[in-house]
Amino acid sequence: MIRMFHVFKTFPNKIHALWDINLHVKKGEFVFLVGPTGAGKTTLLKLVYRGILPSKGQVIVDGVNLSRLKLSLVPYLRREIGIVFQDFKLLYDRNVFENVAFSLRVVGTKNIIIKQKVNEVLDIIGLYEKKNTYPHLLSGGEQQKLCIARAVVSRPLILLTDEPTGNLDPETSWEIMKLLFKINVWGTTVIVASHDKLMVDKAQKRVIRLVQGEVVSDARKGIYAKQ
Amino acid sequence: MIRSTLFYIKEAFLSTKKNSVISLATVICLTATLIIVGIFLVISLNIDLFIANIESQLIAIAYFKDNFTEEEIKKLVEEISNLKGVKEVHYISKEEALQKLKEDLAEHEDILAGLPENPLPSSLEIKVYETGYLEEIASLLSQYKGIEEVNYGGELTKSLMSIFNFVRKIGLWIILVLLAIAILIMFSVIKISVHSRQQEIEIMALVGATSWFIRWPFIIEGFLKGFLSSLIAFFFLSKTYQYFIGQVKEIIPFLPIMAGNEFLIRIGIILLFLGISIGVFGSMLSLRKISFEEL
């Protein structure tokens, strides 16, 4: 599903964010991307949804070489990828339902289908009761769930989440994790960038560890790292 | 298609509402600009009418002394007709002259009521092909016996034309500068509007909206502002102009001036075209690159 061959990313300020990354994430896999702040986790996720292009090397997503993907076709790639951000990126002047529906509206989905799909996903995520509430009235955990709902409402092939449990208490974090496992079971490839040691260790999934832009370990049923 | 269009329109209204103060300021600025442009348009179109009027009056008028016989007149007409540059010679009798004056004065005809006898002389109207011939013909005519006086608007016409052309040129430049300013205003406002909706744009781009899908609401926003501004500007201009015409007709009844609905509709269409173009063009300019990079 996702392949990277000798990927380097250097930003204009000469900072090497990623250094010779080679990895292969298969369809339906659940992968943790761990490492300290500034290790290049977010940069790696951006490469997958073509938020940025690599300075060197190839990124292939669902058989498409992103360096050769025309700019006009980027939106169609993005429709296959759900993204959950650390900073939520919610629309605070629209209620829960509209926030989720927004991602379907912009791709021209029919209203009747929007209604059906949004209600369904809100029910799964556990926000159906709050569908008329505005985001600023939701707790941190609920806002995170809302982001997930928006990311998966179109049933993407890939779900990318950046620090989904960042500011949440352990209980809520685990709830979010369970939700991500559930989505993974649907067949969606899930990549979670995290430095939540507790969650990573508990999950017993594949763990790719980045340090200063380099992959230092890649383990099946891995743990965060020895301290 | 309809679904997307509805979405665009809804988003455009939402954005206008969100930035209501800026939106209002834009509409006011754009309206003011369009009004000024409209005023210059009105002046320019009226100058065109003036010039057309003057050009149709490239004539020399030779006034006869009263003791001229029919035969002499006939002979003279023939002679003049053969002169170089003469297009048409037309004899106007004393009676015709009076009749024409009455028509020109229209409702003010009563001024003439107190006259004991027709004071107007009979005359020859000589139309020429070009202004240049007027002087020559006039000097020739004044040598004839029995001709009291020859009038022609040669110098006056020339200087009037050059003044009008100058005013028109200045007007055109002012219009161009104003339009550029208006586009800049629109450009900045849509930029602000884009900035205030950065989050939405970012989300749209991330969930797979095409760049045109993202642009349309802003273009519609520009369109609506342009449309509204031109409507207000047109309403203001047409009311003011109608009032102005009323006043002018009262004071100078024979002044050729553009009036009537057709003229106003013409101005309206031009303003509407300008307003919408500025709105849409300004938006497009500020949306040149909605980037998928660095999200």
Task: Indicate which CATH number applies to the domain containing B90.
Answer: 3.30.70.3040
B220 and B107 fall within a common domain:
no
Higher pLDDT, A156 or B42: A156
In this predicted structure, which of A42-46, B14-18, B105-109, B247-251 has the lowest mean pLDDT? B105-109
B38 and B182 fall within a common domain:
yes
B46 and B66 fall within a common domain:
no
Residue of A nearest to B2 (CA): A108
9-28 in chain B: CB under 8 A from chain A: 18
In this predicted structure, which of A153-167, A194-208, B80-94, B264-278 has the lowest mean pLDDT? B80-94
Q: Is residue B82 part of a domain?
A: yes
Distance in Å, alpha carbon of A223 to nearest chain B alpha carbon: 30
Domain residue limits, chain A: 90-155
Higher pLDDT, A100 or B148: A100
B65 and B180 fall within a common domain:
no
B74 and B49 fall within a common domain:
no
Task: Read off the pLDDT of each residue in B9-31 and give the average, rounded to a whole number.
Answer: 82
Residue type, A121: V
- Whether the complex's predicted ipTM surpasses the cut of 0.90: no
Q: What is the pLDDT of residue A227?
A: 47
**Is residue B134 within 8 Å of B154, Cβ to Cβ?**
yes
Tokens of B4: 């997307």
pTM above 0.95, yes or no: no
**Residues A37, A194: Cα–Cα separation, whole Å:** 9
Number of domains in chain B: 2
**Residues A49, A162: Cα–Cα separation, whole Å:** 13
B6 and B114 fall within a common domain:
no
139-198 in chain A: CB under 8 A from chain B: 150, 154
pLDDT tens digits, B184-219: 887 887 778 777 777 788 888 888 888 888 888 888
**Residues B264, B243: Cα–Cα separation, whole Å:** 13
Query: Would you put residue B101 in left (φ > 0), alpha (ψ -120 to 50) or beta?
Result: alpha
**Nearest in space to A106 (alpha carbons), one of A133, A132, A69, A75:** A75
B267 and B240 fall within a common domain:
yes
Distance in Å, alpha carbon of A82 to nearest chain B alpha carbon: 7
Residue B241 pLDDT > 70: yes
Q: How confident is the model at residue B104 (pLDDT cuts 50, 70, 90)?
A: confident
Q: What is the pLDDT of residue B289?
A: 61
B43 and B78 fall within a common domain:
no
How much of chain B exceeds pLDDT 90, in percent? 7
**Nearest in space to A78 (alpha carbons), one of B153, B237, B252, B202:** B202
Q: What is the pLDDT of residue A13?
A: 85
Q: What is the pLDDT of residue B259?
A: 66
Q: Is residue B113 part of a domain?
A: yes
B214 and B119 fall within a common domain:
no
B91 and B221 fall within a common domain:
no
Is the Cβ of B202 closer than 8 Å to some Cβ of chain A?
yes
Residues 6+ apart with CB under 8 A from B211: A72, A75, B205, B290, B292
Residues of chain B contacting A113 with CB distance shorter than 8 Å: none
Q: What is the pLDDT of residue B292?
A: 52
B256 and B198 fall within a common domain:
yes
Domain hosting B70: range is 59-129
Q: Is residue B291 part of a domain?
A: no
Residues of chain A contacting B294 with CB distance shorter than 8 Å: 51-52
Q: Is residue B152 part of a domain?
A: no
Phi, psi of A216 (to 5 degrees): -100, -20
Burial category of B119 from C-beta neighbours within 10 Å (exposed 0-12, middle 13-18, buried 19 and up): exposed
Q: What is the mean pLDDT of each run of 10 residues along chain A (227 residues)?
A: 93 88 94 90 93 93 92 91 89 92 88 94 93 94 93 94 87 91 94 89 92 90 67
Tokens of B55: 């050009």
Q: What is the pLDDT of residue B100?
A: 80
